Chains A and B, each alone.
Chain A
């Protein structure tokens, strides 16, 4: 994983150095080209997960941005109209992420989407307590969070 990523970076810098101009487009082009070259070289090598992960990371960032805007629009609409539609509550969310790093990433991402605020993690790292602004059905929220964020994140990290 790390080895392939470093090789990719080195090839990118060689490309940038040879073209002689350090702009964002050059960097992106060099990165994509060396990514495909390395993918051809490591083809059939089952131990390298790097080439599966990069597309997943891009798809996940797109999904995260979409959720961020959707939830922000919901909160903004509620704020500028006179009535409150909010139904807040504190939910107990059982984690399937195990290591500190996985929990850290999940908490950061969930905290950034509006309407959810992480209040605490239990001491044995099994449960999150989340303050949610719009909640009707507890089970529905938990399964949305699990299918939408946690599974995709763990597919990248593991």
Chain B
């Protein structure tokens, strides 16, 4: 039983990392690429580490792996957020099929302040 769980977890983990690397190649723009890579890789690494914890079955190994997974879950979204924000600031283009972009024009170019007011109706439709 334990063996089967380990097999399922490690296979799923490897598959998710594979999907993430395919995503880096196939996704059409930077934001979609970032969004796929960070999440699928986090889940893949988490599943692989869980399989390792079950395989060794020792308290010392398990506590370390739990700590690694916890810190991964805390730090990965922060990194993704900072990279995405920097990309938007430097003007990385969105995919041409993007439906709408409500962040457009909300930044103050000089002070880098971000306003929270609703956009005026003229900019709400497809603005790409």
Contacts and interface: CB of A to CB of B under 8 A. Distances in A.
A129 B40 contact: no
Contact of A79 (B23, B59, B98): B23
Using C-beta atoms within 8 Å of the partner chain, give the interface range for chain B.
Answer: 35 or more
Contact of B99 (A92, A107, A119, A135): A135
B67 interface: no
Contacts of A116: 35
Nearest to A126: B116
Nearest to A21: B59
Contact of A89 (B62, B80, B84, B101): B101
Interface in A69-83: 72, 75-76, 79-80
A156 interface: no
B39 A114 contact: yes
Interface in A18-70: 22-24, 68
A133 B99 CA distance: 10
Interface string B90-128: 000011011111111010000001111011000000000
Contacts of B43: 68, 72
A92 B103 contact: yes
Interface string A78-116: 011000101111111000000000000001100111111
A42 B114 CA distance: 47
A120 B98 contact: no
Contacts of B34: 117
Interface string A107-144: 11001111111111111101101010101001000000
Contact of B35 (A87, A92, A114, A126): A114
Interface string B57-100: 00100100000000001101110110011001000001101111
B114 A115 contact: no
B97 A113 contact: no
Nearest to A125: B116
A123 B107 CA distance: 10
A88 B19 contact: no
24 contacts: A68-B43, A72-B39, A79-B26, A80-B19, A80-B22, A86-B32, A88-B29, A88-B98, A88-B99, A89-B98, A90-B104, A111-B80, A112-B39, A114-B35, A114-B36, A115-B35, A116-B35, A118-B84, A119-B81, A120-B103, A120-B114, A123-B113, A127-B116, A135-B99
Interface of A: 22-24, 68, 72, 75-76, 79-80, 84, 86-92, 107-108, 111-124, 126-127, 129, 131, 133, 135, 138
